[in-house]
Structure 1
Amino acid sequence: MTSTATEVTQVQSLAAIRNFIRVAVSCVTYLRGLCNDESYQPRQFLGLQLKQLVRSSPEADVISQWMEDGAFDALNKGYLKALSLCVYTPNCTELLESYSFALSYTPNGKRAALTFAGNSLNDAALRPCTAATSTTTRSRGKRHTRQEVQQALAGIITKLVEVVEGLPPLLCERVLVMQLTYYEDVTPPTYEPPCFAPASADLTSLHQQEQRQSTNIASLDTGHHMMSITIRHRFFDRLLSQSSMIAGNSTLTASTWNTTFSGIGTEGEEDEDEAAAALKHIPDTNAACTQTCPVKESSQRCPAEPAAISSTFSNDLAFFVFTCFILTRSPVVYRGRVSTGEIAEYLRVSCPLEITLEMAHQMMHRLELKGVVAATAQQEWIVHPLPAAALAGLLLAQREVVPLLSIQIHEDLERLVKGDATTRMSVAAGRKRQRANA
């Protein structure tokens, strides 16, 4: 008895790309908290238990429309050069994270190379998204079977989930943007897929700046498309050393969804050396979804009205932000203690401001004097729940503080103020059980 393995066809390869993008976008938006949990359903993909984005909420509807009606229209027509999912600060002047799927085609259009690039930053520098195509081998002699491609895709998704799970929490206020880049030589000058419009010059400029830095973590060659995944993050630089340079002549389009305010759609054109694009707003009905940064879905933004904090605390933004982290260790939401190691890890990974460990110890002493924490002999501090809850309510009313808080810290402070007995650890354990039972 003999058996044969069927090679992947061009049509199958293109379908695999679409499915991969759907799964990857679902994983990224779920793990980064860009949509509420009700926007996802359990799905098995190549033997993996994942969360699939479904059209069950306004934000999920918009993201699905971006992919299905917009990006895939350009992909099916052979115009698409790159799809970038970007997370910006509210004013779109600083990129927090970007994940880019870039394609390059052979002259006859029968073979292509796909690159998936991810960039994530948590510092004050301007970091635009990457959306251009990396230099890749145009043709590979070997064809691959469907089983080989599926095994490789499963490995890439697994790696992607591992990397995204390790990213620091996002800030409370952020804007989600999808940008499309086209090949100018084949794309009609007036082409705009549904949900997209010309990008602003600022977004195009940011796009060009960021495309220079990324690190490769995985790759796949189907015989028709080559796909590689790259990521740029300051906390992974020590682990990931291989980098790829992104460059190309392209046309950029974007659709924007503001997770705190109403969104705008954008699209534009870009040359290799310079970009010129006009901003065009899409009606709010296309991308006007909002997501709450607190746990309450009815709220559209973080508290904006300032409230006076007790005069016993100085008007020190770094101290306020650090105090928010310490308060989340209250027994109401955590284990009631915080160690020097946990503080050092927070400062290294998640703190949005430059705070040294020495400064942190000075801040802890200030909190001791005010009765918020009490030092123990094991390089730990006990966090007292009552003063922590009172202080959390005051800090959540500070307009300067709230935008610097991660989603997790913001939710923990909300839970602390409400006196919710469900701790973060029990919530995390419940989510793990749900994944295990899925």
Structure 2
Amino acid sequence: MAIAQLSHPIRIRKAYKGPIFPSQISDQEESLATVKKLFATCISCITYLRGLFPESSYGDRHLEDLNLKILREDKSSPGSELIIKWIQGCFDALERGYLHMAILTLYPNPKEPEKVTEIYQFKFKYTNEGITMDFDSSNTSIESGTKRGHIKKASILLLRKLYMLMQNLGPLPNDVVLTMKLHYYNAVTPDYYQPPGFKHGVNSHVVLFEGEPVNLQVGVVSTGFHNMKLKVITEAARVSDLEDNLFQENSVSEVAPQAPDGDEEEEGSSNQVPRRSIELSQQSSESARKRRKVSEPLRRIVLGEETR
């Protein structure tokens, strides 16, 4: 498979030269490199702690007391090579300033992709140095993210919370399908654009859970040039052991609507979401004009018990 080409020092590997996360960002290039590292580290963490790929698909990096497992080329694991290609496609869209969200989804039945088990949503914003904007629901300014030490601390905190969450999630089904959808900023993204490893995707999509879904806020990192926010959506019963609602923005019985198709409906909205379902697109005729361009992988990753 084409991912064997990762030997041209794979962009993930290249991104990890030097310190994993700097204490301070001085320009847009450093900011982009940091966001790439954080995104790739999160994807690696999720796939490793959910047991999706074999040990041979990961290399070791250390960050304070965290032993990070980072995806690497593994010809014996086509699935891990494929997800590396997805990450490279996200890197391409990030470099161009096109990527709005990357949504990693796990579901048990290949014939019913709308019935999901877990959703990992990465949301990106692009800013100019010194400009503040409301990014998370508490209306916290991103400006503090550029101060010395804040970026590294925020990155470590996000990873610690992600590790804690992964260790408290219930087991996945024996068979599971992994896919990723990319949503773009329409104003700057050409209609023809598709990153490597992706094709045109369907915009409107409703996802269903077997149990009641809960929205878990993992963290946000702001550099002054880029912002990355991670949230996880899964069934409330599968995370019942988490202490003090550490990750929850909303109560277990309501989930803030996810709105990839527009920024009008932000986190913290008072709108209710029907039990066991989450609307991932706006359906009104007015919002149809604003629907975001979406990509999906050329191939999904189908994992059976024997491959995990």
TM normalised by structure 1 equals 0.48
Change (3 A) 1:217 1:291: closer
- The answer as to 2:101 corresponding to 1:94 is no
Equivalent position of 1:54 in the other structure: 72
Alpha-carbon spacing, 1:198–1:19, altered in 2? closer, same or farther (3 Å): same
- Residue of structure 2 equivalent to 1:242: 249
Following the alignment from structure 1 to structure 2, what is the Cα–Cα distance between the partners of residues 289 and 78?
27
Matched residue, 1:35 = 53
- How much does 1:278 deviate? 10
One-letter amino acid of the structure 2 residue matched with residue 95 of structure 1: V
Write the deviation string for residues 45-88 of structure 1: whole angstroms up to 9, x where unpaired: 355212111111211110001111x1111111011000111101
Residue 242 of structure 1 aligns with an amino acid whose one-letter code is E
Q: TM-score, normalised by structure 2?
A: 0.66
Give the alignment of 1:280-319 within 5 angstroms: 282=298, 287=299, 291-294=303-306
Task: Give, as a single letter, the amino acid of the residue that structure 2 aligns with 1:249.
Answer: D
Q: Output aligned runs, 1:124-135, within 5 Å.
A: none
Give yes or no for contact 1:111–1:225 (8 Å, CA) kept in 2. no
The superposition leaves residues 197-248 of structure 1 with CA deviations (integer Å, 9 ceiling, x where unpaired) of 12246xx312699xx9623243333333344443334033674242355335
Superposed CA offset, 1:362-420 (max 9, x none): xxxxxxxxxxxxxxxxxxxxxxxxxxxxxxxxxxxxxxxxxxxxx7xxxxxxxxxxxxx
1:112/1:224 contact within 8 Å kept = no
Equivalent residue number for residue 215 of structure 1? 216
Residue 94 to residue 161, structure 1, CA distance change in 2 (3 Å): same
Structure-1 separation of matches of 2:283 and 2:202? 17
- What's the secondary structure of 1:49's corresponding residue? strand
Specify the alignment match of 1:77 in structure 2. Answer: 96
State the alpha-carbon separation in 1 of the partners of residues 132 and 54 from structure 2. Answer: 35
SS in 1 for 2:122: strand
Residue 150 of structure 2 is aligned to residue 151 of structure 1: no
Q: Which runs of 5+ in 1 are unaligned?
A: 116-133, 252-269, 298-406, 408-438
Greater gyration radius: 1
- State the SS of the aligned residue for 1:214: strand
Distance 1:52 1:32 in 2: 14
Query: What one-letter code is carried by the residue in structure 2 that aligns with 1:62?
Result: L
Q: Structure 1 residues 207 and 225 mapped into 2: Cα distance closer, same or farther (>3 Å)? A: farther
- Counterparts of 1:10-409 in structure 2, within 5 Å, are 10-45=28-63, 47-56=65-74, 57-68=77-88, 70-90=89-109, 91=111, 92-106=113-127, 137=139, 140-142=142-144, 144-145=146-147, 147-200=149-202, 204-206=204-206, 214-233=215-234, 234-235=236-237, 236=239, 239-240=244-245, 241-243=248-250, 245-249=257-261, 273=284, 274=288, 282=298, 287=299, 291-294=303-306
The RMSD of aligned alpha carbons is 3.8
Alpha carbons of 1:161 and 1:141: their partners in 2 closer, same or farther (altered >3 Å)?
closer
Counterparts of 2:52 and 2:66, CA distance in 1: 21
Q: Secondary structure in 1 aligned to 2:92?
A: helix
CA distance in 2, matches of 1:46, 1:33: 23
Give 1:35 shift. 1.1
Given that 2:175 and 2:303 are in contact with CA atoms closer than 8 Å, whether structure 1 keeps it comes out as: no
Between the aligned partners of 1:163 and 1:280, the Cα distance in structure 2 is 26
- Distance in structure 2 (CA, Å) of the matches to 1:72 and 1:113: 23
For residues 226 and 281 of structure 1, the distance between their equivalents in structure 2, rounded to whole angstroms, comes to 24
* In 2, Cα distance between equivalents of 1:228 and 1:175: 24
2 CA distance for matches of 1:13 and 1:77?
13
Aligned position for 1:363? none
Residues 192, 208 of structure 1: alpha-carbon distance in 2 compared, 3 angstrom cutoff = farther
Distance, in Å, in 1 between the alignment partners of 2:222 and 2:297 is: 38
CA separation of 1:14 and 1:291: change in aligned 2, threshold 3 A? same
What do residues 328-377 of structure 1 show as CA deviations (whole Å, max 9, x unaligned)? xxxxxxxxxxxxxxxxxxxxxxxxxxxxxxxxxxxxxxxxxxxxxxxxxx
Question: Are the aligned partners of 2:44 and 2:70 in contact in 1 as well (CA < 8 Å)?
Answer: yes
Alpha carbons 2:101, 2:124 under 8 Å: kept: yes
Name the CA shift for 1:245/1:226 in 2 (closer, same or farther; >3 Å): farther
Aligned length: 247
Q: Is the 8 Å Cα contact of residues 42 and 52 (structure 1) preserved in structure 2? A: yes
- What is the one-letter code of the residue matched to 2:258? I
In structure 1, distance between residues paired with 2:297 and 2:43: 24
**Residues 291 and 151 of structure 1: CA distance in aligned 2, closer, same or farther (over 3 Å):** same
Report the CA distance shift for 1:19/1:182 in structure 2 as closer, same or farther (over 3 A).
Answer: same
Query: Quick one: distance in 1 between partners of 2:138 and 2:126?
Result: 10
Please give the secondary structure, in 2, of the residue aligned with 1:160.
Answer: helix
Q: Share of identical aligned residues, percent?
A: 26
- Counterpart amino acid of residue 101 in structure 1: F
Contact 1:250 1:272 in 2 (8 A): no
Match of 2:117, SS? strand
Q: Match for residue 335 of structure 1?
A: none
Match of 2:14 in 1: none
How big is each residue's C-alpha offset from its partner over 1:239-287, in whole Å with a ceiling of 9 and x where there is no partner?
A: 4242355335359xxxxxxxxxxxxxxxxxx7674569999984xxxx3
